[in-house]
Structure 1
């Protein structure tokens, strides 16, 4: 009797132990079957489960789920007879119904004793010492969840796309293990040699980078619902469209909401539309198409699989031709640029591809760079948008068959309308009568001033290739969320952030003080939009509707230069190192040089200042607001008064206040002031005890003469590596640029050469101070005649390797004239 009681007690204890352990541990020998939808292995709190989920009526996927959300899966499809087994040797194995091995963990003979799913969603294999032998967190598929560490060597994969973290802390998206189409690195202000970086997603929605060499962590991205309360699971996923996104999932909702996207423009994801596919946008999102009717979809049911020629080039019965695609580019990322980049014209870019046996397509950029990319037969990924300043060519067999416009649904349904013939006839008759009456009214009233004003509003001018896109006011209201997010405000109007229909982020400027009519405004916009250069902000489009005048520019993520140069000590993250500063100075000089000397219609900017120098994602300088002064105020600029000057205090050249002709040398003066600010990190018109209450440019020249170049340099750069030769060169160039007499200032092309070190620089004369300290470098007692300016500058080097910037043989010295034009070009646009 006692033995039976003892046996019952042991059995009960074993049963209790097994029940408790089975709620947390999965013993060896356990199996899941695809045919049994109720089987699952769950975490202690039943939040996460490992189970088979149906993909369709025939195939299943083994995955870990949070509610209905998959956070880990085995990519191999399994049939209805498949089983997933935790074998006695410690190996996990997925077998098909026929017994074939589809996947395994390769953990046999590793001492595995049990498995478990913890409350964070990690499925682990452990030994008897509870040491983790294998886990899903260490072997991610396409998703990272909260509390999961993503380290160097791990990869998220989805189709041809992969995401990884490299040793330097860069987050990288890659296509086909070859083409890197997106990368996010550390801020330039973080100077650290990383030892073992890891990436983690916090429950608040912050994606952070950790490393022993970094104090705390670095925020790489965060979701739009950052820190919002609720029962959310936030996760990072590499989707099958090649984009990386942060999602929020509310339990029970069945719906995951996108909170952050790595590549904002989906069409910029390499290979999104497959080989020879062309990505564009409709009202709902990105769509994939083929270059022309010379192509067919590889899979008619899936346009992202790409396109193929109906007739291969090698099988052409006749000649080969180049299909022209306007506003289209074929995406080019490293390593493509190493071998397939050329600097040629449009004809050569097209012709070289036509004659090249391996070339299938080419793209020429209309941004002033002259870059031509040749595409070989390996893989070609296209992007088409009205905002793209590029033209592409595709090799096809003659005849060229362009894509037709979208077909009308009404035309395909005519046969269904036979019962309504009578109604159609009646409606047609009424329409004809209305049209006739409207024609008579138009003929009688077309000379009416009121009618003419209305029709002019909708009149379209024909533009050359690369013309700006015309937006309606309603379009821009929607893009800016009714002008909600203000980026800045200047002399020409307020700038707002907007997102266009093709997901392009843009800067929308509401112009103020427009004095031009509809036609003239459009012509000026067309002139501005035809100006393309790597260091100029690109004009995407415009709105001219009723009284509304708006311009749409490309968006510069890092804002304007002034926010970096004049940042306070608390904003050290906004500090630019010397390398960035010098590149910004050089890029700005190149952009202004293009405006003055290289573009078709030379433009004098008239308002060069740090606020009008914008920085892109890589801190490349882009000059903005060129061409706007003439657009806003087209009056004769030769007779400006102080009240009519639209320039900015501290950057105006002396001739503005002396009522002298305004030429490109006025921009040179402003650039010199900006250049000195780039070096010093402080405003030129500010005075302080440090400068003995002198204007900074005057004090700086005194320090330069003493050989104290380091005292002029921004003190915040003390801990950074600085090229003192470049600093000295920049300071010398700035002093030449801010000379009081325009004839002593170099042309911008010479400025670029001096900054690059191609030309030697002689010692510049001392710049003069403004009497009242309010306008830098001006003298109110200047002669009204420009002929009184000296035409030589003593003190410049006479070395043969340096062409003296003020020598009459190489300089355009301004002379009194009845014309505004003092440039070598006929069409000088004063901005």
Structure 2
């Protein structure tokens, strides 16, 4: 007779080995809920709905340390971040224990908190009848159907901040932004149809509200809209076209492509159309309104001022401090008591600053002294704006809201202070990206509840998880060993390829001799020093000694450098070889006679003609387009600037230092996961500063700065006088050019480099400038690709016959 122990072990093994298959067989998620069912927050995998083709999921979504909401999101994880498109209880999350979604006997869905209180229900919103089934459709619409499968309630009629294709926006619906990035509570920015039947954006703050788009300074028809419609209806279709009854129409940049899309009112108050890029698995902006971010009302809160550095940044006036260090929308509070006695006040001048709206006593013609006396005599006046355009416009302010600062404001803001107020220190500021609070706010509620359902499963489930982790660990280590062997073999093969192409591995002594003991320095940058040298075969070369590399093996360095060496384009500097001995890392390039663009563009005796500059812009664009889209290895430059554009004897451009980002980021080749910020001040895209995903659009931004420098002759990383009182540097070059284009009919003549002495083609300069401005758009998704830039600049050749013939 067998002992019981001899049977238990095999049976145990059978059960354990069968568990993955049992779990897999029960894993498909339902796309429907039926009356009488309940789903608890403790078991979110059991409380999920999934649409028919798996595009959307619905279930409990964590919004804080002890807080959950019932939400709908795209099932596919994008940029390691869930994309929520709808939320039932965004302003009243439920407890993480014992809360549940119930399909009650009355035929409505209800979300109950841990104490049994109803947080949200469809009961007050059902159009007719009672539901018998709830389904999540492939469109992302959660619907409640009666016995005849008629819709009695649907999430499409109750949007939060997002419209999906096929979801209409009607007269009674509003898109309300989130409170901040990562915070799902209702924010202050709203998109809806106003009383004039016009789709508008409004700031609906705690104390005030105002329209900021379309331009409130224009009437309806000047903004290209019509108020003569009564339907108040707008919709986005699957192809990426948006049509509104007020005449607003727009299409996605990728119009006609059938991709996943969403139209979201973002926390910064701007409505953006996003398209899913299936290559990068990320959302890209495919449309946004022509709205300057600092002109969004309420962005920096009461008393706050928005300016560009070069991205939108908030600051407080002197004598004010942030109300909430984690949330700029709360604005700034004064560090002084407001004084009513007009003999006890003074004013501090803030140049090029304006607080839009809330004028308490506008005066069309007044001197500064008269305007100041008006504000002194009014206890409710917090300051006044004064236009310096000769018209004497005086704007006393009852509230300091919608603050903006920039060279395009032809005026001064005077802020009222107590006379005894003394100022010390400097203006504080903070990036708008920091305008957020912790995404893990704790839900401070205590409930007397029983033992949650599902607790009896925690021990077997924990055992299964532990067993699965052991299996995964074994598999991972086995795969890593095999992968290492493959990598070693691949590195060896690449070494043979490099040698066969004439791509050399130099010894340190060879390069030391060729460069005369590294005595002739011809350049210096963030990645190292460059020396001139002559090889034994009499080729003149540039030897670059790399600095700041992370330590890696010679085989890995050889592998990466040989990949760069195989890249070949007429507008890319040719790499002849490299040196890797001990800790020394050197690269050997072709030598270009006229040196860097920086030396030729910004020196006092610059000799670049307009033809030279145009060809430099076109050649550089072609090189970057090749790196981004054509070469075998997809390459980001990450440091496009005049120092890295070299010129041959005929002033034809060649881009240098391409591919070095691979060498400076071992183990971090994921384009969205660079280990540190790269680039040069004045040329860095906002993504680097705001910690956003890094794509080829960072090079597009830097290229745009370079183009604007070619046109104006002004260095973005420094500052130069452009008028009697104005400077243009890295913080002001872009807004200065944009303002010139917007307000000055002869803007080409105003911005053109004086060293061109008027010898340029107006049409090609206009096109090149507009291309540059498009490249430096703050939103990466709005910027063109480099191949699109090449196409746009090539069109400009038709306007200048000499340039066209030279290119041909």
TM-score normalised by the chain length of structure 1: 0.46
